[in-house]
Structure 1
Amino acid sequence: MARKLEISDQEVQRLRREGLGAPEIAKALGKSRATVFRALQRLDEVREYVRHDDVFPWPVHQMHGGTLPTKYIRTLSRAAKTGGGDMDYLMAAFRWANGMIERGVDIGYDPDYPGTDVTPEGGYYEMPEPVGGGFIRRLRDAALEAGRRRER
């Protein structure tokens, strides 16, 4: 006899469209990562694994791994490395990066930095963009260029 479905495919897809990865979906649904990964495989939603530790100019503490700046940086990193990603989340990440660039700011990180309007959980802070472009501008430009190469 087949096992009872342990997880809602629709809920997994909704969370994936929001940009969550398997560990985050598992936590949100109270399920194991293996259960979520099987659902993602069944839905043909398994992404190729892309490392981001080479992109971040600082080690990010685990407590800040789910914050919007971290998610946007990972989304732009994926786009820079693969030329693609979830379009809705990618557009949100580009809007975020473009807004920072238009305001002339870059982002910095200190795990002990208190919560601000950048992220209530703390860690990230805005600072003036360095002459010649900062981290966010370089990452955004790399993601745009990878997208252009992919379109050719």
Structure 2
Amino acid sequence: MGRRATIDREELARLVARGMSVQELAAHFGVSESGVLQAKRAAGLAKPMLDHSAAVPWKLTRAHSQSGPATNLRNLSAAAQGKPPAAERLNTALRWARRLVEAGLDVGYDPAAGFVEVPAAPSGSHVAAVLAAAERGLEKS
């Protein structure tokens, strides 16, 4: 069994600053792309990942993870976290959410059926809450 390849953090930082891709770094250090990503995270060189769990609180099946509602909720979540997506994606998500809220609707999720539009609960709408958070995030940027 061979010795695990190590990645020198200083050299990694220099090469990342020069703009080397993950693929190029993997070849340079003789490790997998996953190994490079782990080393970048450990060295504080990776961009922090966004957390969409509040916007998409369901365990989605693979078939539904890229659906319109899931994508729109993630895009609104990104805006709420100060990292809005491209303007056309953001506008699509905002229009979708505003249409639902104005109609008194919300979304529900069922692993078998996917996303469905449902009447908003008197206690509040999930989509309305995600939309409000996105609008607050957009005001700050």
User: What TM-score, normalized to structure 1?
Assistant: 0.58
Number of aligned residue pairs: give it: 98
Question: Take 1:110 and 1:140, find their aligned partners in 2: how far apart are those partners?
Answer: 21
Counterpart position of 2:73: 73
Q: CA deviation at 1:64?
A: 0.6
Answer whether contact 1:106 1:135 (CA < 8 A) is retained: yes
Look up the equivalent residue of 2:139 and give its one-letter code: R
The 4+ residue runs of structure 1 with deviation greater than 6 A are none
Question: Take 1:64 and 1:106, find their aligned partners in 2: how far apart are those partners?
Answer: 17
Question: Take 2:58 and 2:65, find their aligned partners in 1: how far apart are those partners?
Answer: 12
Answer whether contact 1:106 1:128 (CA < 8 A) is retained: yes
User: What TM-score, normalized to structure 2?
Assistant: 0.62
Gaps of at least 5 residues in structure 2 are: 1-33, 35-46
Answer whether contact 1:101 1:136 (CA < 8 A) is retained: yes
Answer whether contact 1:53 1:59 (CA < 8 A) is retained: no
Deviations 1:65-124 (A, max 9, x none): 1111111011001001115221111001000001111111000000112xxxxxxxxx01
Gaps of at least 5 residues in structure 1 are: 1-33, 35-46, 114-122
Counterpart position of 1:111: 111
SS state of the match for residue 107, structure 1? Answer: strand
